[in-house]
Amino acid sequence: MARPKKYSEEEARLARLKSKRDYYCRCVNNSFCIILYICQEVKEWIMSRNLKSERKKALQRYHDGKEAGKTRAPSSRSKSCPTRPNDVTKPIEHVQAPLILLNSRTSLKTAIAAIWTRVFPEGEPVDMQQVLEKRFSQLLTQCTDEPWANLRPKIVNEIKHVDNAITESTKIRQEAWKRDPTGNSFIHNKVKRLTRELEAYSGLLFEARVWLDDGGSAKLLHLYDGRQLFWQHRR
């Protein structure tokens, strides 16, 4: 006696079609992932080339303007409100932001978001390395737009502002340890990233200030091209 069929002919045909469809979907997905990865690599390569080109152009504009004795034309507002010569190099006072009050009922997630917003108005950045690269390019551009004597106090003030945010993030981290001594909660990871990224941002500004004091934008760009700046090797 013949063994009864487990599946009908129609069910077997549908099963084969489903198996083929799943196989082709996996192949298409793998191919798509490979193409997406290649596109991302090409995009990052193009962006790095563009950033390097823009930095060199900014540096060239800086030297051209310096040799030609280029100065900014005073605006009508500055003519009507003249400033004293001593005001040019007067340091900008750092205004400390209100402290975040932490207690057992404080939402640490909200507190972390507030600290991010103090430094980056758009909130927590997705790619911090890209933020650092962009800020470095802005620093070189700023060097071409105004004298270092005017720019330096602004950078010092920005460093104070970021360091103040780091102090606040440390307090949030201490509160997180009180609530979860194991250190396994997602809040620990979020506040750890907050502190780490802000320290990298502060380090970039500090290195820029030191080398712009010592050798100018040419020295700073030389160190960047040689990957000798600490923030370029962050993990």
Higher pLDDT, 77 or 30: 30
Same domain, 153 and 225: yes
Q: Please answer whether residues 149 and 88 qualify as being in contact, where contact means their C-beta atoms are separated by less than 8 angstroms.
A: yes
Same domain, 35 and 146: no
| Number of domains present in the structure of the chain | 2
Q: Is residue 32 part of a domain?
A: yes
Same domain, 94 and 44: no
Indicate the pLDDT class of residue 65, thresholds 50, 70 and 90. Answer: low
Count CA within 13 A, CB hemisphere, residue 161.
18
Same domain, 21 and 101: no
Same domain, 107 and 29: no
pLDDT at 19: 73
pLDDT at 148: 86
pLDDT at 53: 62
Same domain, 39 and 134: no
Same domain, 40 and 108: no
Indicate the pLDDT class of residue 220, thresholds 50, 70 and 90. Answer: confident
Q: Is residue 54 part of a domain?
A: no
Q: Is residue 221 part of a domain?
A: yes
Percent of the chain with pLDDT over 90: 31
Domain extent at residue 110: 90-233
Instruction: Please give the structure tokens belonging to residue 199.
Output: 């320290």
Indicate the pLDDT class of residue 161, thresholds 50, 70 and 90. Answer: very high
Q: Is residue 77 part of a domain?
A: no
Amino acid at 110: T
Q: Is residue 218 part of a domain?
A: yes
Same domain, 95 and 36: no
| pTM flag (> 0.75) | no
Task: Express each pLDDT in 127-149 by its tens digit.
Answer: 999 999 999 999 888 888 888 88
Same domain, 114 and 217: yes
Burial 156-174 (b: 16+ CB within 10 A, else e): bebbbbbbbbbebbebbbe
Same domain, 207 and 107: yes
Same domain, 28 and 105: no
Q: Is residue 23 part of a domain?
A: yes
Higher pLDDT, 37 or 182: 182
